[in-house]
Amino acid sequence: MRATDRGRRFDTLSRQASRDLLARMSQRQRHALRTHWELWAHAGQIAPEGDWQTWLILAGRGFGKTRAGAEWVRQVAESDPAARIALVGASLGEVRSVMVQGDSGLQAIAPRALRPRFAPSTRTLTWPNGAQAMLYSAGEPESLRGPQHSHAWCDELAKWDTAGSRAAMAWDNLQLGLRLGRDPRVVVTTTPRAVPLLQRLLASEGVRVTRGSTYDNKANLPPAFLRSVRREYGQSLLGRQELDGELIADLPGALWTRALLEACREPAAASAAVRTVIGVDPPASAHGDACGIVVCALGEDGIGRVLADCSVERASPEQWARAVARAARTWQADRVVAEANQGGAMVASVLRAADINLPLRLVHASRGKVARAEPVAALYEAGRIRHAGPFARLEDELCGLLPGGEYHGPGRSPDRADALVWAMTELLLNRPATPRVSLA
């Protein structure tokens, strides 16, 4: 009988039978029971058998990816005193707070007598038997050039910084340093996003893939949480990606692709803003579409940047107007650009009532959303727009816009995308031409 099968049988005991069993155990036995991972893990959290070099756990949030990665590292470290393990995350802060010291991190899951000691000054984790793990940030790929390892755990690989090919460089440097021991292996735990490095791994030989959803771990998640996320996200693109663990592919011919958006991403705005505009796409009713509220800025370097997505859903006119006002104050906006097709006077009066003391420009859409978006998509292709961070729901809408007026993204309408288009049109396409002297 497999350990996971024994765990399921233990879980099926009645409450009284469980109490009787625990009462017969010593304190040491009860503690050992709590840390006996294979007894409690579900099937997707157990490393595959056979010969593999990379184990990729591609699953939704709450699946137990972090715990699975940490338990695999723990097993390696406790069984091999010579193990030298690389712990790689999107940043050093995340490696420490999630992979090492988090609720499912390496220190929390270890039996008390075998708990590893963390030395922040050297960024090392040392087990009582001498095995060691070193902490690395994927945002600093050069730190992985040189060190040698026998094993590695890479967490949230789809979040790694893709700017300047940092993610790929970090992965390549890690692979080139996996030359200790007789059987170097890597575990990758991540929620799926269609980034180039993840797609590269999925196409590689020697990669064993475990897929799963949030609901695979429902026994360990609050029922209220499961009901809430199912109701809120359901079968939306965001829900399919973040909960079901589905890798969302690009639509053929879409104005935006995932690769394009990743190529234009930067961790934060790399240039000071000379103008900040908030694009607003008001909803037709409080019970219909979202109110798109997107903050964009023009940098000193001439690049347009998306700074924030402050959109609200199922909001009354007063609620979305206040959301616009908050965004304007937070980002010190110079102007609000709002679509006025759904009652221009009403839009203006609602925003004025929210005490927005800055210029308001009402714009009337004479073309469809997709037609308006095409010139802005061209600016992305030309490298003139960047995203200062990830904006999952906004980007899902952008990737759902197709030429010819079709929209196949989440929701009934691309409200966030339309708000972005209004803001970027104001910043980059409505600028007055610079006078030039002709010598003809």
Per-residue pLDDT of the chain in tens (440 residues, 90 and over written 9): 344 444 444 555 566 666 676 677 776 666 666 667 777 788 889 999 988 999 999 998 889 999 999 999 999 999 999 999 999 999 999 999 999 999 999 999 998 889 999 999 999 999 999 999 999 999 999 999 999 999 999 999 999 988 778 999 999 999 999 999 999 999 999 998 878 899 899 989 889 999 998 888 888 788 888 888 787 776 666 677 778 887 777 778 899 998 898 889 898 999 999 999 999 998 876 566 789 999 999 999 999 999 999 999 888 888 888 899 899 999 999 999 988 866 555 677 777 776 667 788 888 876 777 788 999 999 999 999 999 988 988 998 999 898 877 888 777 889 999 999 999 999 999 865 444 444 54
pLDDT at 298: 97
Distance CA 207, CA 52 (A): 6
258-429 belongs to CATH 3.30.420.240: yes
What pairs with residue 338 in β-bridges? Answer: 280, 362
What architecture is the 41-240 domain classified under in CATH?
A: 3-Layer(aba) Sandwich (3.40)
pLDDT at 236: 64
What pairs with residue 84 in β-bridges? Answer: 132
pLDDT at 11: 55
pLDDT at 28: 67
pLDDT at 114: 92
The answer to pTM > 0.85 is no
8 A C-beta contact, residue 393 and residue 238:
yes
8 A C-beta contact, residue 139 and residue 171:
no
Q: Of all helices (H) and strands (E), which one includes residue 289? A: none
8 A C-beta contact, residue 106 and residue 133:
yes
Paired tokens of 377: 């998509």
8 A C-beta contact, residue 292 and residue 416:
yes
325, 341, 344, 342: which is closest to 333 by C-alpha?
A: 325
Distance CA 36, CA 32 (A): 6
Domain boundaries, the chain: 41-240, 258-429
pLDDT at 7: 47
Contacts of 293 (CB under 8 A, 6+ apart): 278, 279, 280, 309, 310, 311, 312, 320, 323, 324, 327, 419
pLDDT at 29: 63
Residues in the chain: 440
